[in-house]
């Protein structure tokens, strides 16, 4: 009898091994056009960038018979590479990169809507992979914005259903006209519309999201057991250990191609029986790349160098940085930042630190290279809140810095009056928000990092306010 029980156990384990199928999911998100690897001379390594991703991804793919590669959006906006126009499409070069990386599926992030609604749809058309768009509906066609409300990917004997969810607060993150033609459905409603249909056809269901962890958590709680996995982006978090909520795994790979996510699954009877997750650092020994993608990026890099030399505006007076006092330059930069985001975030005030301005630019022509050297720190635009009394503390601290010079001062746009207990919305950048104790003297709240480069905002305002067509005005 004991022998019989042992045989049954062995037989059940054998059957389990036979029918449990290994499957790998590679994932990235919030890559933001990071095309160049960074050289670490001390370690002799290259970190990040598309070519390092290609090297690591292809190596890992050879180790997995069944795998897919997915992305959680915001492929666009972050470098000059993502602003390149290809086939008449802003950001088209980024799409071509992911075509060559053989991406299997993505979802729209808010930055895919930065240029125009037409441009967004053209990005999707250029992609060889589906932009799965479950909850964004075109008001005219009443269909998914990308035309693909869900996708089914097949690898050998595994069929994977993919849904794509973009944040409901999309109109707060982009220009209103860029999404005025879009109806945004609640994620649960959008997914449930197709869930039964997709479940019948698949062994595994993944939801790609671009809405942040908090919204993903609520989504996990409200979705039923037919959904197995949520892979998210938007708030740039990383999670080496997966979150597990209501029977669903939640995965995050960070941002800017620091890591490649890899989830190694066992799939059996329409569910995940085990999951091993790792974040693979995108770092390799220094090497020369010789792939079609490397040649493509080299061609674009040459074009970028040409672009950097182009004159984008003519300024009427010298721009001279000064760490410890307000200048024409610092006042214009703060004002330009507020103006750039007036329609999107409606800030009450802009704050920048003067020490972040690093180049003298004489009156006359300004090139993209000038602005890259003026603002070299890759800061991202941040919005946060504070009380009027906090601003009064900030003013006192800033005045102290101007006199005693322990740190550089901050430039800020003026307010007509300040009410102590009123909440004010501030536009700034990630360095100020992260060094609030040093620069602000108060801890901000309701902080949102847009992921949008501070540099891009200033470039855009230079183009608007000092266009080359007005060169004659400075003679």
- Among 33, 48, 34, 153, residue whose Cα is nearest residue 102: 153
Q: State the DSSP string of 407-421.
A: S--EEE---S---TT
Q: Does residue 465 surpass a pLDDT of 60?
A: yes
- Among 310, 330, 428, residue whose Cα is nearest residue 370: 310
Using one digit for the tens of pLDDT, what is the confidence trace for 296-335? 999 999 988 888 898 999 999 999 999 999 999 999 999 9
Calpha distance 233→255 (Å, rounded)? 8
Using one digit for the tens of pLDDT, what is the confidence trace for 383-439? 999 999 999 999 999 999 999 999 899 999 999 999 999 999 999 999 899 889 999
CB 360 within 8 A of CB 318: yes
Q: Token pair of 303, please?
A: 């074009």
Using one digit for the tens of pLDDT, what is the confidence trace for 155-202? 988 999 999 999 999 987 787 789 999 999 999 999 999 999 999 999
Calpha distance 203→272 (Å, rounded)? 9
Task: Report the DSSP beta bridge partners of residue 367.
Answer: 311
pLDDT of residue 127: 98
Calpha distance 346→425 (Å, rounded)? 8
- Among 357, 309, 313, 312, residue whose Cα is nearest residue 331: 357
Binned at pLDDT 50, 70 and 90, residue 16 comes out as very low
pLDDT of residue 39: 94
Q: Does residue 11 surpass a pLDDT of 50?
A: no
Q: Token pair of 298, please?
A: 């080299």
In our burial notation (b when 16+ CB lie closer than 10 A, e otherwise), range 325-345 reads: eebebbebbbbbbbbbbeebb
Architecture of domain 21-302: 4-Layer Sandwich (3.60)
CB 33 within 8 A of CB 77: yes
Q: Does residue 469 surpass a pLDDT of 80?
A: no
- Among 265, 218, 259, residue whose Cα is nearest residue 236: 259
CB 167 within 8 A of CB 173: yes
At residue 101, what are phi and psi to the nearest 5 degrees? -80, -5
Give the long-range contacts of residues 392-395, CB within 8 A, separation 24 or more.
392/418, 392/420, 393/440, 393/441, 393/442, 394/351, 394/440, 394/441, 394/442
Neighbours of 23 (CB within 10 A): 24
State the SS3 of 363-385: CEEEEHHHHHHHCCCCCEEEEEE
Give the homologous superfamily in CATH for domain 310-474: 5'-Nucleotidase, C-terminal domain (3.90.780.10)
Q: Does residue 358 surpass a pLDDT of 60?
A: yes
- Strand segments, DSSP code E, in 316-444 are 349-353, 364-367, 380-387, 410-412, 423-429
At residue 437, what are phi and psi to the nearest 5 degrees? -70, -30
Calpha distance 397→399 (Å, rounded)? 5
Q: Is 290 helix (H, G, I), strand (E, B) or coil?
A: coil
Q: How far is CA 159 from CA 24, 145, 180, 260, in A?
A: 13, 24, 35, 23
In our burial notation (b when 16+ CB lie closer than 10 A, e otherwise), range 122-139 reads: bbbebbebbbbbbbbbbe
C-alpha 146: how far from chain center: 19
- For the chain, what are the domain ranges? 21-302, 310-474
């Amino acid at each position: 009898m004991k022998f019989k029980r042992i045989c049954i156990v062995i037989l059940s384990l054998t059957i389990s091994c036979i029918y449990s199928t290994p499957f790998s999911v590679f994932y990235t998100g919030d890559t933001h056009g990071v095309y160049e690897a960074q050289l670490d001379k001390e370690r002799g390594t290259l970190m990040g960038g598309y070519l390092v991703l290609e090297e690591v991804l292809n190596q890992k793919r050879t180790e997995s018979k069944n795998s897919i590669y997915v992305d959680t959006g915001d492929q666009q906006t972050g470098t000059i590479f993502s602003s390149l126009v290809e086939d008449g499409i802003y950001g088209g070069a980024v799409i071509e990169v992911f075509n060559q990386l053989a991406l299997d599926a993505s979802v729209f992030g808010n930055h895919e809507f930065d240029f125009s609604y037409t441009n967004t749809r053209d990005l999707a058309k250029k992609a060889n992979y589906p932009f799965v768009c479950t909850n964004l509906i075109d008001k005219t066609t009443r269909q998914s914005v990308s035309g693909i409300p869900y996708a089914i990917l097949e690898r050998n004997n595994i069929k994977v259903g993919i849904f794509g969810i973009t944040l409901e607060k999309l109109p707060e993150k982009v220009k209103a006209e860029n999404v005025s033609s879009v109806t945004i459905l609640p994620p649960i409603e959008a997914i449930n519309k197709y869930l039964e249909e997709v479940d019948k056809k698949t062994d595994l269901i993944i939801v790609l999201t671009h809405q942040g962890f908090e919204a993903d958590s609520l989504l996990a709680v409200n979705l039923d057991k037919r959904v197995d996995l949520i892979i998210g982006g938007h708030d740039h978090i990383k999670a080496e250990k997966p979150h597990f909520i209501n029977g669903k795994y939640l995965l995050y790979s960070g941002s800017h191609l620091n890591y490649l996510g890899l989830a190694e699954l066992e799939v059996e009877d329409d569910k995940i029986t085990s999951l091993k997750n790792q974040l693979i650092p995108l770092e390799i020994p220094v090497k020369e790349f010789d792939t079609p993608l490397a040649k493509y990026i080299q061609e674009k890099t040459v074009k970028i160098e040409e672009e950097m030399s182009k004159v984008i505006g003519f300024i009427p007076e010298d721009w001279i940085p000064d760490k410890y006092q307000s200048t024409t330059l610092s006042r214009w930069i703060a004002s330009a930042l507020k103006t750039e985001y007036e329609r999107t975030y409606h800030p009450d005030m802009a704050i920048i630190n003067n020490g972040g301005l690093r180049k003298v630019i004489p009156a006359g022509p300004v090139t993209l290279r000038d602005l890259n050297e003026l603002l070299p720190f890759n800061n991202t635009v941040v919005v946060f809140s504070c009380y009027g009394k906090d601003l009064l503390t900030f003013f006192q601290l800033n005045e102290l810095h101007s006199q005693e010079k322990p740190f550089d001062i901050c430039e800020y746009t003026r307010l007509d009056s300040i009410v102590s207990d009123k909440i004010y919305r501030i536009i700034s950048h990630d360095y100020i928000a992260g060094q609030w104790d040093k620069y602000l003297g108060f801890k901000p709240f309701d902080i949102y990092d847009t992921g949008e480069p501070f540099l891009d905002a200033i470039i855009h305002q230079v183009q608007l306010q000092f266009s080359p067509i007005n060169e004659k005005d400075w003679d």
